[in-house]
Chain A
Amino acid sequence: MRVLLPLPVVLPLFAAGCSMAAARRRWLQRLIGIAALSACVAAAVAILLHADREGPAAAFMGGWDAPVGISLVADRLTGLMLVVAAPVLLAVLVFATGQPGTEKEQPAFHPVYLVLAAGINLSFLTGDLFNLFVAFEMMLTASYVLITIGGRRDQVRTGMTYVVINLIASTLLVATIGLLYAATGTVNMADLAGRIGHLPGGVRVAFALLLFVVFGIKAAVFPLFFWLPDSYPSAPTAVTAVFAGLLTKVGVYCLIRTQTLMVAPGDRPIGFMLAIAALTMVVGVLGAIAQNDIKRILSFHIVSQIGYMVLGIALFSVAGLAAAMLYLVNQIVLKSTLLLTAGIVDHAAGSSRLAEVGGLARRHPIVGWLFLLPALSLAGIPPLSGFVAKLSVIDAGFADHAWIAVGVAIAVSILTLYSMTKIWGGAFWGEVEVVAEPSDAMSRRYGATAPMLASTAALVVLSLALAVFAGPLLELCQRAAADLLSPTAYISAVLP
C-alpha cells in the first residue's frame, strides 16, 4: 500500500510536468494525459479492492509517522470516490480532445487539467487537515486557470467571483485549522478525532459549524451557492463538466469525512443540516426552472442535488450515509454526462439557449439519446440509477422520521423532471433550429466529433451500469457508512 496510495496523486502530477515539456506537440500531450489518467483508473480500482477486503490502509509521506508526518489514508469511502472520479476525469479529457477550441488552442490545458486531477485525488486520499487545504488549493488554482482560460470578457467577470469566493473559503479553512491546532495541538484527522472529544461542548459545536460552513461553500449549499450558477456556465464545456461532476462533490466528500470523523455524535447539527438540505433542494430547483440556457439550468441542478446528499448526511445513520454516498457516486457520473451533452448541443447547433435551438432529437438522434437517459436518471425515473439513489435517500429519511425533508425531496424531484422536460421540449423537440453549423462532416451528420460522442456514450453506459449493479454498490456504501460511524479501524490504521 505504501506504493499504491500516492499513485493517484503522483502520476497526474508527474504527467503534468511531462505534458508541460511537450507543449509543442499536442498528440504527445494527449497521449501523456490519457495514459496517466488510465493508470489512475487502475490504481483507484486496486485501492478500492484492497480497502474493501482488508480495511483502511495508511501511508506516511516524508519518512515521518503520524501524527507529525502527512498521512494518506484509504478506507472504503476514499476508494469509492477515487474509482468514480477516475473514469470521469478520463472521459472528460477525451471529450476535450475532440472539441474544437480550448484544448487545441491552449498548450496549458493538458498540464493544468492533470494538476486538477491530482488535487481532486489528493483531497480524497489525505488524512491530514492542513494537507487537505493544500489539496484544495492545488485543485482550485488549476480550476481558476481552467475557468478563465482564453480570457474572454465573460470569463474574466465570472472568474473574479469564482476566485474570490473560493479564496475566502480557503482562508476560512486556514483560520479553522489554526483554531483547531490551538485547541488540540494536531492537524492529523485521526488524531483530531480522538482529541476533539476532550474540548468543552460549546467549542466542539463551534468547530462542527465552522467545518460545515467551510466545506458548505465548496459544496455550494444554501445560502452559500450564489457563485456556482454564475461561474460554471462560462467555462469551456469540458471544464464545466468536470467542475460540475467533481469539484462540488469534493466539498460533499469533505462534509461527510469531517462531520463523521471529527464531530462527536452528540454535537452534530442534525436539525440545522436538515433545514439547509431542504432549502438547498428547493432554491436550486426553482432557480433551474427560471433559466433559459441548458448549461445554466444544469448548473442550478448541481445545487439542488447537493441538497439530497446533505439530507442523507444529516441523518447520520448507516442507511442515510450509504444513501448519500450512492447519490454522490450517481451525481458525479450524471452531472458530467449531462454537461458534456450540453456541450454537444452547443457544438451541433451553435448555442445552448433554449430559445435558439430546437429539433435536435430529429436531426441527431444519438445526441437525443445521450441526453435523455441521464436526464431521466437525474429526475429519478425507474429503473435508472438516479431512481435507486433517490429512493434510498427517501427510504433512509422515512426510517429516521425526517418527514418534512423527505416531503420536500419528493416534491423537488417532480420539479426536476419538469425542468428536464423544459430542456427536452426546448432543444430536442419541435422545429429544427440552429444558430451555426459545425464545420466538419462527422459533426454535421451525427452532431459531434467521434471522441466527443464516444466519451459521452461511455459515461452514459457507466451510469446504466450503476443501475444494473445498484445492489452490490449499495451494500458497499453501507459497509463504508458503517466504517464512518464507528471510525476505530480508520484511527488505528493511522495511529497504530
Chain B
Amino acid sequence: MSLVLALCTALLFSLGTWLLLQRRLTRIIIGLGLIGHGANLLLLLSGGRRGVAPFIGQIGERTPADPMPQALALTAIVIAFGVTAFLLALAYRSWQLTGDDLVEDDLEDRRIAATRSTASDEEVADQRELSAAEAALESSTGGAAPLEEAE
C-alpha cells in the first residue's frame, strides 16, 4: 500500500516539475497543484503504518493511525488552495492585460544585457531606442509575439 503511495508521490512530483518548466501560467499552476499534492501525500505517508481512526474512546485494543500528519496535511491543503486561487486571479489579470498568460521576460534585464558600454550618453540613446521598441511592442497585438520568438 505505501509503496503505491510512494510511487504516486514520485509521479506527482515529476509531472509537476515538468509542468512548472512550461511558459504558460495556467500550466505552471497545474504543475504547482500536482507538486503540492505530492507534498501532502508525503506528509500522510510520514505518519507510518495505517490504523483505525484516532477518536478517543473508539480505539480500544487496536492501533490508531497517527493523527498529526493528517492535521499538517489539512493545513497545507488549505494554504495551497488559497494561494492557487490567487495565482488563478493573477493569470486572469494577465489575460485581461495582454490577452495571454505567458510569463514574460524581464525587459530591463534584456536592456542591461544589450548595453555594452556604460557611457551615459550612449545609455540614454540606447534606452530611448529600447523604449521606442517597447512602445512598438505594446502597440502590436497583445505584446506576446516577440516573446514567443525569444523562447
Contact = CB atoms under 8 A, between A and B. Distances in A.
Contacts of A157: 94, 103-104, 106
Given A157-B104, A179-B46, A171 B36 contact: yes
A182 B108 contact: no
B83 A174 contact: no
Interface in A164-204: 164, 167-168, 170-172, 174-175, 177-179, 181-182, 187
Given A130-B75, A137-B79, A160-B103, A175 B86 contact: no
Contacts of B91: 160
Given A164-B28, A168-B35, A177-B72, 17 more contacts: A130-B75, A134-B75, A151-B97, A160-B103, A163-B90, A164-B32, A167-B32, A167-B83, A171-B36, A174-B43, A177-B43, A178-B42, A230-B109, A292-B112, A293-B108, A353-B127, A355-B120
Interface string B111-125: 010010000100110
A355 B35 contact: no
Contacts of A148: 90, 93
A130 B72 contact: yes
Q: Interface residues of A: mostly helix, strand, loop or mixed?
A: helix
A35 B48 CA distance: 48
Contacts, number: 110
Contacts of B43: 174, 177-178, 181
Q: Interface residues of B: mostly helix, strand, loop or mixed?
A: helix
A174 B39 contact: yes
Interface in B21-72: 25, 28, 32, 35-36, 38-40, 42-43, 45-48, 68-69, 72
Contact of A161 (B68, B72, B80, B103): B103
B68 A181 contact: yes
B39 A290 contact: no
A175 B39 contact: yes
Contact of A179 (B42, B86, B109): B42
Given A144-B86, A182-B46, A160 B25 contact: yes
Return the 5 tightest CB-CB contacts between A and B, nearest first: A182-B46, A178-B42, A178-B43, A174-B39, A181-B46
Give the interface centre of A151, A156, A230 by most chain B CB atoms within 10 Å: A156
A153 B98 contact: yes
Contacts of A151: 93, 97
Interface size of B as a range: 35 or more
B15 interface: no
A160 to B, nearest CB: 5
30 contacts: A68-B68, A133-B76, A134-B75, A141-B79, A144-B83, A151-B97, A153-B98, A156-B94, A156-B97, A157-B104, A160-B28, A160-B94, A160-B103, A163-B86, A164-B20, A164-B103, A168-B32, A170-B79, A171-B32, A174-B40, A174-B76, A175-B39, A177-B43, A178-B39, A178-B42, A178-B46, A182-B46, A292-B112, A292-B127, A296-B108
B82 A141 contact: yes
Nearest to B82: A141
B132 to A, nearest CB: 15
A170 B42 CA distance: 14
